[in-house]
Structure 1
Amino acid sequence: MANHRLVTLGWIFTEKFGLILLSMITFVAYARLLSPAELGVGTIIIAIVELVGLIYSSVLEDPLVRLQRLEDKHISTAFWAAVLVSLLSIVLISVAVVFYTSDPMLRWMTALASVKILFTMMARVYVAQMRRSGNFKMLASRTLLGKVVGGVAGIAVALWGLGAWAVIAQALIMEFVSIIVLMRADPRRIAFYIDGPFLRELLRAGTPVAINALSSQTLQRGVNVVLGMTAGANAVGMFNMAMRIIDLPRTAIYNGLLSYALPAFSRRSSEPVRLLGIIGDSTVVSSFLLTPLFLGIALTASDLILLIFGAKWAEAIPLLQVLACTAAIGNTAMYATTALVAVNRSHLTIKAEVATTVLALLLVYVFGSVYGGMAAAVALLARMLMITPLQIRGLNAAVGYDWRRFLDSNYRSVLASLVMVATVLSVSPQLGVQGYLHLAGSILLGALSYAVAYSVLHPRWPQEFKSVFTTR
Structure 2
Amino acid sequence: MKGLLWVFFEKIGVTVLSLIATFWYANLLGPVGFGLAIIILSTSLFISTIIENLQQYPLIAATENVDDTFKTSAIGWLLVSTLIAIILFMVLLVIYGSDWWLLILLSVVYIPISSISRVYIADLIIKQKYKQLAFRACWGKAAGVAAGLFVAYLGYVELAIILQSFVAVFIALIVMALSNKSLFNSNSRFSLSLFITLCHEGIPSGFAVIEQNAKSHGLIIFLGAFIGPYVSGLYALAIKVVDIPRTLIGLGFTTWATGKFHQVRAQQTRLVSVFNTALLCCCSILVPSYIGLVAVAEPLINEFFGDDWLEASEIIAWLAFYQCIFSFYLYLPPLQVLFKTTYRTLLVNVLSTVIVLLSVVLFSDSFGKYAPLVGMYTSLLFILPKYSVEIVKALNTNFVSIIKVIYGILLSAVVMYGVVYISIDSFAVSNVYMLIAIGVISYIIVFILFNLANIIDRKILANIKTL
Gap change, CA 1:385 and 1:293, over 3 Å in 2: farther
In 2, Cα distance between the equivalents of 1:436 and 1:416?
20
* Equivalent runs, 1:249-288 vs 2, <5 Å: 249-288=245-284
After TM superposition, the score normalised by the length of structure 1 is 0.92
Which consecutive unaligned segments of at least 5 residues does structure 2 have?
none
In 2, Cα distance between the equivalents of 1:15 and 1:70?
31
Contact map agreement 2:424 2:430 (CA 8 A) in 1:
no
In 1, Cα distance between the equivalents of 2:66 and 2:428?
65
Contact map agreement 2:297 2:316 (CA 8 A) in 1:
yes
Contact map agreement 2:10 2:135 (CA 8 A) in 1:
yes
**Residue equivalent to 1:390:** 386
Name the count of aligned residue pairs: 465
**Residue equivalent to 1:184:** 178
**Residue equivalent to 1:16:** 11
Aligned mate of 1:311, from 307, 312, 334: 307
Verify: 1:222 aligned to 2:218, yes or no: yes
In 2, Cα distance between the equivalents of 1:437 and 1:353?
38
Gap change, CA 1:446 and 1:372, over 3 Å in 2: farther
**RMSD over aligned Cα atoms:** 2.3
Summarize deviations over 1:296-324 as a string: whole Å, max 9, x none.
11101111111122221111111111111
SS at match of 1:250: helix
Q: Amino acid of the residue matched to residue 409 of structure 1?
A: V
Contact map agreement 1:322 1:378 (CA 8 A) in 2:
no
**Residue equivalent to 1:351:** 347
**Residue equivalent to 1:240:** 236
In 2, Cα distance between the equivalents of 1:126 and 1:315?
41
**Residue equivalent to 2:151:** 157
In 1, Cα distance between the equivalents of 2:62 and 2:68?
13
In 1, Cα distance between the equivalents of 2:318 and 2:183?
49
Aligned mate of 1:134, from 112, 128, 131: 128
**Residue equivalent to 1:3:** none
How much has 1:227 moved relative to structure 2? 0.9
In 2, Cα distance between the equivalents of 1:444 and 1:403?
29
Contact map agreement 2:25 2:157 (CA 8 A) in 1:
no
How much has 1:66 moved relative to structure 2? 1.8
- Of 314-323 and 162-171, deviating more is 162-171
Aligned mate of 1:114, from 98, 108, 123: 108
**Residue equivalent to 2:51:** 56
Verify: 1:325 aligned to 2:321, yes or no: yes
Summarize deviations over 1:213-268 as a string: whole Å, max 9, x none.
22322221111111111111111111111111111221222221111222322333
* Equivalent runs, 1:31-46 vs 2, <5 Å: 31-46=26-41
Aligned mate of 1:88, from 83, 95, 101: 83
In 2, Cα distance between the equivalents of 1:317 and 1:402?
38
How much has 1:183 moved relative to structure 2? 1.0
Contact map agreement 1:93 1:111 (CA 8 A) in 2:
no
In 2, Cα distance between the equivalents of 1:433 and 1:405?
39
Gap change, CA 1:289 and 1:79, over 3 Å in 2: same
Aligned mate of 1:206, from 199, 202, 214: 202
In 2, Cα distance between the equivalents of 1:13 and 1:122?
24
**Residue equivalent to 2:402:** 406
